[in-house]
């Protein structure tokens, strides 16, 4: 056999080995599961939006890390007085009384600054709990909660231990001023860089659950908001258990469409960490037909591969996105993207499928409120404002019958040449504009924009 023939045989053999390994790799079950896919219908002017839920594959669910370091931020601001302080203490007791013996805790008083109530991380016991509660009682509830500054300062209290790190916040979140987008982004990036998950139990006169959910979503944490004082200790027990579960941090995430192999815009712009007990949700401006997701997963703990159920510490993964049927009831996804695009989705409180359902109900509630406002505007003879308000309601809920009826009536009145505020035609009438800067985004005599803000605030409350 000649040398040339030998080389051809070897090359064919090598190619066969490569192809076989590729097939085997493709047949291996992915550690990532697509739990659901929802898509809105596209139009000539609006691209479809798809919500994708990912979580750790239940068949390969990793066990909780053997030992963790948990830093508890106990809110001692002015809003945490009286009954709310007592509720927060019940939550703290629930966390510490039900902790594992191998986990370490550090409790910090949080208001305008970060004040540690101990010297370092220690295992929880009755003596530690009682001394912590005594230190809390000595603090008068004063000031506001500078949550971003507190988190930044508290994150430096962790030592160099390879244990997974978690923050549990007990309080009502940032004050009335909230958090600016760039500050929230910096805080989440700090936590992501240091592999620190943020979880919270909301307690107080007015819990800023949106901000707490956004922080938990971006860092692989969880959020509980108990509805009664009797549920506080159980909430502490539950959040203590949820805060120590395994979290995997995605890096180099790319959504690709097979038909058009380009990277797609996602919100939030950074893929949230993945857990096995809830979905991590991203919104994509595309139908995602034949799309794939490529990402690299990094665990919170720095341990050998055999400590991760045989999984390597850094695991490249590819998963195919199943095809979804676009539905008109998913139009709320377009409103989510419209509201979140300017900030990169940093405020999206999509904490699992439950968080997405809450967002859907809030947007549907906005639609109902806007439909009511449109009826009032039409009754008052403000047909242009009625049209814009009804159009905004239908953007959120295309099935809203009241908004559809008001819109039809307003169009007829605006095109009626005998009407007092009739318009020559829909082509040059600002009331019919639906693009950027039109409708609720413009200025008119009915103060549509201010009405929209009030509706959103009331709906979220």
Residue 94: pLDDT above 90? yes
C-alpha separations of 7 from 10, 11, 17, 20 in Å = 5, 6, 15, 20
Tell me the residue length of the chain: 461
Q: Print the SS3 string covering 321-361.
A: CCCCCCCHHHHHHHHHHHHHHHHCCCCCCCEHHHHHHHHHH
Give residue 166's pLDDT: 96
Tokens 């390597």 correspond to 312
- Contact call for residues 345 and 203 (beta carbons, < 8 A): no
* Separation CA 15–CA 183 (nearest Å): 52
Q: Please choose, from the candidates 192, 115, 176, the residue with its C-alpha nearest in 3D space to the C-alpha of residue 149.
A: 115
In percent, how much of the chain has pLDDT > 90? 32
CA distance 145 to 447: 33
Coarse DSSP helix, strand, coil percentages of the chain, rounded to the nearest 5 percent: 45, 20, 40
Helix (H, G, I), strand (E, B) or coil at 404: helix
Give the angle subtended at the CA of 403 by the CAs of 402 and 404, to the nearest 5°. 90
Average confidence (pLDDT) over 40-55: 82
Q: What is the pLDDT confidence band of residue 419, given thresholds at 50, 70 and 90?
A: low
Cα–Cα–Cα angle for 352, 144, 81, nearest 5°?
A: 90
Do 358 and 72 meet the contact criterion of CB atoms below 8 Å apart?
no
| pLDDT at 184 > cutoff 70 | yes
> pLDDT at position 83, please?
93
Note the pLDDT of residue 58.
62
CA angle 417, 423, 424 (to 5 degrees): 75
**Better pLDDT: 423 or 452:** 452
3-class SS at 58?
helix
Do 45 and 334 form a contact (C-beta atoms < 8 A)?
Answer: no
**5: confidence class by pLDDT, cuts 50, 70, 90:** very low
- Residue 447 has φ and ψ, to the nearest 5°, of 55, 55
Of the segments 70-84, 166-180, 312-326, which one has the largest average pLDDT value? 70-84
3-class SS of residue 257 = strand
Question: Residue 427: which pLDDT band, with cuts at 50, 70 and 90?
Answer: very low
Q: 6-10, 130-134, 213-217, 239-243: which range is least confident on average?
A: 6-10
Say whether pLDDT at 50 is over 60.
Answer: yes
User: Residue ranges of the alpha helices (H) in 99-229?
Assistant: 126-137, 147-155, 181-193, 209-219
**What pLDDT, on the 0 to 100 scale, is given for residue 243?**
94
Nearest Cα to 325, choosing from 34, 21, 25, 37? 37
Q: Does pLDDT of 370 surpass 90?
A: no
Residues 296 and 318: their CA atoms lie apart, in Å, by: 9
> Which residue bears the tokens 């599961």?
33
Q: What's the rounded Cα separation, in Å, for the pair 79 and 81?
A: 6
Mean pLDDT across the chain, nearest whole number? 79
Query: Does residue 14 carry a pLDDT above 90?
Result: no
Distance, C-alpha 19 to centroid of its chain: 40
Q: How deeply is 261 buried, as exposed, middle or buried, from its count of CB atoms within 10 A (0-12, 13-18, 19+)?
A: exposed
Peptide bond into 268 cis (omega under 30): yes
Residues 6+ apart with CB under 8 A from 345: 266, 267, 268, 269, 283
């Amino acid at each position: 056999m000649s040398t040339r023939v030998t080389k051809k045989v070897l090359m064919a053999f090598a190619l066969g080995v490569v192809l076989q390994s590729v097939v085997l790799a493709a047949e291996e079950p992915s550690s990532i599961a697509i739990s659901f896919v929802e898509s809105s219908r596209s139009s000539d002017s609006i691209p479809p939006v798809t919500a994708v839920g990912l979580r750790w594959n239940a068949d390969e669910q990793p066990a909780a890390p053997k030992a963790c370091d948990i830093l508890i931020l106990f809110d001692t601001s002015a809003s945490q007085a009286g009954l709310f302080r007592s509720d927060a203490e019940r939550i703290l007791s629930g966390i510490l009384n039900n902790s594992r013996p191998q986990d370490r805790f550090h409790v910090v008083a949080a208001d305008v600054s970060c004040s540690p109530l101990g010297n370092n991380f220690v295992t929880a016991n009755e003596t530690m709990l009682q001394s912590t509660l005594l230190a809390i009682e000595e603090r008068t509830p004063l000031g506001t909660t500078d949550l971003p500054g507190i988190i930044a300062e508290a994150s430096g209290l962790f030592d160099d231990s390879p244990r997974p790190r978690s923050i549990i916040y007990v309080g009502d979140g940032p004050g009335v001023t909230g958090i600016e987008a760039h500050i929230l982004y910096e805080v989440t990036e700090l936590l992501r860089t240091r592999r620190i998950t943020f979880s919270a139990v909301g307690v107080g006169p007015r819990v800023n659950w949106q901000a707490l959910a956004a922080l938990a979503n971006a860092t692989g944490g969880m959020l509980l908001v108990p509805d009664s004082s009797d549920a506080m200790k159980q909430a502490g027990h539950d959040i203590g258990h949820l805060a120590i579960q395994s979290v995997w941090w995605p890096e180099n995430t790319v959504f690709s469409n097979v038909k058009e192999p380009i990277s797609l815009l996602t919100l939030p712009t950074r893929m949230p960490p993945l857990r096995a007990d809830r979905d991590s949700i991203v919104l994509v401006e595309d139908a995602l037909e034949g799309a794939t997701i490529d990402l690299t997963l990094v665990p919170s703990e720095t341990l050998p591969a055999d400590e991760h159920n045989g999984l390597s510490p850094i695991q490249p993964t590819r998963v195919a996105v199943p095809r979804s049927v676009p539905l008109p009831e998913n139009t709320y996804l377009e409103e989510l993207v419209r509201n979140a695009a300017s900030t990169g989705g940093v405020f999206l409180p999509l904490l699992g499928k439950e968080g997405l359902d809450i967002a859907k109900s809030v947007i549907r509630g906005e639609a109902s409120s806007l439909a009511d406002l449109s009826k009032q505007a039409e009754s008052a003879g403000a047909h242009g404002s009625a049209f814009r308000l009804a159009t905004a309601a239908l953007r959120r809920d295309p099935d809203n019958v009241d908004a559809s009826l008001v819109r039809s009536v307003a169009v007829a009145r605006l095109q009626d040449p005998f009407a007092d505020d009739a318009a020559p035609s829909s082509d040059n009438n600002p009331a019919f504009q639906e693009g950027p800067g039109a409708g609720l985004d413009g200025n008119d005599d009915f103060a549509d924009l201010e009405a929209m803000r009030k509706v959103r605030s009331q709906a979220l409350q």
